[in-house]
Structures are given as C-alpha cells and as structure tokens.
Amino acid sequence: MNIDRKTIRYLRYLRDVYGNKIILNKDLLMNELEQYKKEIENCKKCILGESRIKFVFGDGNPNADIMFVGEAPGATEDQTGITFIGRAGKLLDKLLLNINLQRSDIFIANVLKCRPPANRDPLPSEIAICEKYLHKQISIIKPKVIIALGRIAGKTLIKQELALGKMRGKKYNYQNVDLYVTYHPAAILRNPNWKDSIVSDFQMIAKKYL
C-alpha cells in the first residue's frame, strides 16, 4: 500500500487527537519511516559517508513505546546495515528479554548512522549533522520514553558533558519525550560489575512505561 506522507501525517494527527479510538496500522507508520530512510540513506554530508559500507538507519517497531539510542554502528552493523547485531546487541537482547521484550517491541537507532573508522568516537561535527536524522525518527515514532545507551548517546541527547554515573538515574526530556541514560551494553561486556545497574535501569523503565 502506497500512501503519501501528507495522508500519513493527517492520520497521525487523528491518532494524536483521538488516541486509542483510532487504530493506526503499523504498516502505515513503517511506510513513513521507510520513506524517510529512502530520503536519507545515501547521505554524504560528512566523511563517514565515504568510508561506510552500509548506512545503518535503525530497526524495530515503528510504533514502539520504548526507543533506544546507541552511539554508532560497529563493524558488524556496517556490514549488515542492521543495528546492534554484534556482541553488544546479543547482550541487549538478553537485557530486553529480562523485561519481557523482544527487538520487535522496541525501536533502536544510533546517534550516527555510519560507522566511524576503527570505531573512534563520533566528532561533534558528525553528531551535529546526524542528530537531525534522529530527531526526525523520534518525531515519526513518537515513543513514550527514550533510553540513551552510553556516554556518547547520553551527552548528545542531554546536551551536557557528564560522566555516565552522573547521567544515570535521572529523568530528562528530549523533544518532549522522557529520556533516561544508562550504560552501553558494550561497556558491560568490558566491565561486568555494571550489569546489575543496567538490569535495574531497564526494570525501572519497564515498570514505569510498559
């Protein structure tokens, strides 16, 4: 089914006004996200557009209540175009399962859509360009809550340079959506002592928003 963006926007407006009385087909929302993906997937606005193999848009349920934001694609994501499918992604799957969720229940995207060479930290100029894409994804998905995974996603979304421990455990706001920051699953792989903290963060968020 091919529905133009204006119609989709109108249907979304009806959903916002009438809430649950209007049932919006998940495919319609996917349609809008898919269309947006097509608009941006050939991006060459920064040098990462030259070195990437695949543009990693984000994956999951376009109607999700919970949206996760990671840092940037790693090597496996760059090869496949799919977010969080490497080792950190496998751990994320376990953490989700622990709160009775699967990938198909959530949406997950990164601050950057292209892999920085050798997984270096994203540059501020790259974040400034790519964050606009994240903004638009959030405005299409309209999640109830965003969970930023790790320091880079956290500082990008809360707009403050803080240590992760200082960002954790507080409710922020991003584009009028509640936002929490927790550890990046890759950090847990490096330091399993933090596992209890991320488990309790996920549990707190599940209790509040599911």
How much helix, strand and coil, in percent to the nearest 5, is found in the chain?
Answer: 55, 10, 35
By CB under 6 A, residue 60 contacts ligand URA: no
Sign of the alpha-carbon torsion through 82, 141, 158, 114:
positive
Query: 10: which 2 tokens?
Result: 């109108």
Task: Provide the mask over 111-150, with x wherever binding to ligand URA is found by CB under 6 A and - wherever it is not.
Answer: ----------------------------------------
Cα 113 → chain centroid: 10
Question: Which residue in 60, 70, 116, 122 binds ligand URA (CB under 6 A)?
Answer: 70
By CB under 6 A, residue 201 contacts ligand URA: no
Of 6-14, 46-54, 69-77, 98-106, which part binds ligand URA (CB under 6 A)? 69-77
By CB under 6 A, residue 69 contacts ligand URA: no
Least distance between ligand URA and beta carbon 210 (Å): 23
- Which residues contact residue 73 at a Cβ distance below 8 angstroms, ignoring those fewer than 6 apart? 52, 54, 56, 83, 110, 112, 113, 114, 115
Question: Which residue in 84, 174, 183, 194 binds ligand URA (CB under 6 A)?
Answer: 84
* Cα(149)–Cα(122) distance, integer angstroms: 14
Q: Which residues of the shown chain bind ligand URA in the complex (CB under 6 A)?
A: 70-74, 77, 83-84, 86, 88, 110, 186
